[in-house]
Amino acid sequence: MSKKVLVTGGTGYIGSHTIIDLIENGFTPISVDNGVNSMASILDQVSSITGITVEHYNIDLCDFAKTEQIFKEHEITGVIHFAALKAVGESVEQPLRYFKNNIDSLLTVLELSQKYQVKAFIFSSSCTVYGDVLSSPVTEETPMQEAASPYGRTKQIGEQIISDTLAHQNKLKAVLLRYFNPAGAHTSGLLGEAPSTPAANLVPVITETAIGKRESMSIFGTDYDTRDGSCIRDYIHVMDLAHAHTLALQHILSGKQDQPVDIYNLGIGQGATVLEVIKAFEETTQIKLNYQIAPRRPGDIMAIFANYDKAKEKLGWNPKYKIQDIMRTAWVWEQKRTKL
Ligand code: NAD
Ligand code: WQD
């Protein structure tokens, strides 16, 4: 029988793409989301792509009793915990909301995973846990610095909670996945990022500018000590990222993980500057972007990109999409989304 996987934040950006990858790899995903930053109707797009109707619960994961109901109704083998608030700037303005939501929901899902003998727990962490690194590429061993925001701290604390909780047992195994900069959309053109709150990340800002939702966009700083003066990041296509979750799950379920908790970086190992990303968009789409140079954005670090050798060796993960694929799919999705 197909194994059931609870996907929290299942109607969100990365969660919805992962649901498709899970289906394509023989799992039965069950989605839960409270809709704070997504809409359940995105699962219609998932259904158009896969031909499968995914069971979905509209529940706030901070509500223990309601969440427990899902575990009572289904025999869950694995949990992929995406659900969280993720806007860095907002977390600075509303730290308590971020700590309450991101930590409470994690505690609920982790406790229930133990109680209902789930075997595998995958946690969405972030390269933000490394803080302002001195050099790149970063490995999983690179020491963490002070988190630059309350959001970042919820990820550092979340990792710590999972590690402490699972340290002295061997029933539930966890993987912490540190994503670098997820971007792009499903290659079908039917699914992509559709947040309820305004986008602040570079790639959606670019596509929203190109389609005219924004008059122009800003490049935050061209006076950094990089090859063209703008910041360097490691942009990873959302479908490559989604597949890493399936691989991590399979790795645990096939008994290949010895220790209770393991950690993997997920980036493509190549940094791109903001100006290079814009150039890739303009070349891929033949659209000229309206942008201006603006001052540095507070809290931004100059450069960070991943060493992902560990995910490659242990999980067999080989990201296949490049920055041009990210731009092409993001642009196709932006045009589709505008018509939905
Ligand atoms: P997203 O906002 O699209 O998805 C998160 C989903 O969680 C949303 O649909 C939201 O409605 C839901 N949610 C939030 N709090 C909830 C709660 N209490 N109960 C139920 N549902 C709740 O974000 P995403 O980009 O898909 O990110 C998924 C995960 O990956 C998050 O944990 C995020 O912090 C992490 N992450 C994202 C990025 C990125 O740049 N997108 C980078 C690194 C890590
Ligand atoms: C990328 C680059 C900006 C918008 C954030 C979180 C991080 C992780 C990924 C969750 C930077 C520049 C951006 C714009 C610009 N999320 N930029 N103009 O800041 O690397 O990471 O998302 O865990 O925790 O901090 O991503 O897409 O916001 O910015 O010039 O309008 O693009 O300065 O150099 P960031 P981003």
Write phi, then psi, for 3 (nearest 5 degrees).
-80, 140
Count Cβ atoms within 10 A of the Cβ of residue 323 and give its class: 0-12 exposed, 13-18 middle, 19 or more buried: buried
- Give the residue, by CA position, lying nearest to ligand 1 atom 39: 182
- Give the residue, by CA position, lying nearest to ligand 1 atom 28: 82
| Residue 29 placed within a domain | yes
Say if residues 271 and 136 touch (Cβ distance below 8 Å): yes
Where does ligand 1 bind, in terms of residues with CB under 6 Å?
9, 11-15, 33-38, 60-62, 82-86, 101, 105, 124, 126, 179, 182, 195, 201
Q: How far apart are CA 251 and CA 2, in angstroms?
A: 16
| Residue 130 placed within a domain | yes
| Residue 75 placed within a domain | yes
Which atom of ligand 2 is closest in space to residue 179's alpha carbon?
23
Count Cβ atoms within 10 A of the Cβ of residue 73 and give its class: 0-12 exposed, 13-18 middle, 19 or more buried: exposed
Domain count, the chain: 1
| Residue 34 placed within a domain | yes
Best mutation site among 31, 86, 236 for ligand 1 pocket (most ligand atoms within 8 Å of CB):
86
**Number of alpha helices (DSSP H) and beta strands (DSSP E) in the chain:** 11, 13
| Residue 334 placed within a domain | no
- Give the pair of three-digit tokens for residue 105: 């929901």
Question: Is 291 a known active-site residue?
Answer: no
Q: How far apart are CA 279 and CA 96, in angstroms?
A: 39
Count Cβ atoms within 10 A of the Cβ of residue 271 and give its class: 0-12 exposed, 13-18 middle, 19 or more buried: buried
- Give the pair of three-digit tokens for residue 202: 């570079």
Q: Which alpha helices (H) appear in the chain, and where do they start and end?
A: 13-24, 42-50, 64-73, 88-93, 95-115, 150-166, 202-211, 238-253, 274-285, 309-310, 323-339
| Residue 335 placed within a domain | no
Which atom of ligand 2 is closest in space to residue 277's alpha carbon?
32
pLDDT in tens, the chain (340 residues): 899 999 999 999 999 999 999 999 999 999 999 999 999 999 999 999 999 999 999 999 999 999 999 999 999 999 999 999 999 999 999 999 999 999 999 999 999 999 999 999 999 999 999 999 989 999 999 999 999 999 999 999 999 999 999 999 999 999 999 999 999 999 999 999 988 878 899 999 999 999 999 999 999 999 999 999 999 999 999 999 999 999 999 999 999 999 999 999 999 999 999 999 999 999 999 999 999 999 999 989 999 999 999 999 999 999 999 999 999 999 999 999 987 7
- Give the pair of three-digit tokens for residue 165: 């909780």
What letter does residue 314 receive in the DSSP assignment?
I
Best mutation site among 180, 236, 274, 278 for ligand 2 pocket (most ligand atoms within 8 Å of CB):
274
| Residue 125 placed within a domain | yes
| Residue 166 placed within a domain | yes
Distance from the alpha carbon of residue 233 to the mean position of ligand 2, in angstroms = 8
Range of the structural domain that residue 60 is part of = 4-184+234-267
What's 53's domain CATH number? 3.40.50.720
For residue 66, count other CB atoms closer than 10 A to its CB: 16
Q: How far apart are CA 80 and CA 8, in angstroms?
A: 6
The pLDDT score that the predictor gives to residue 2 is 95
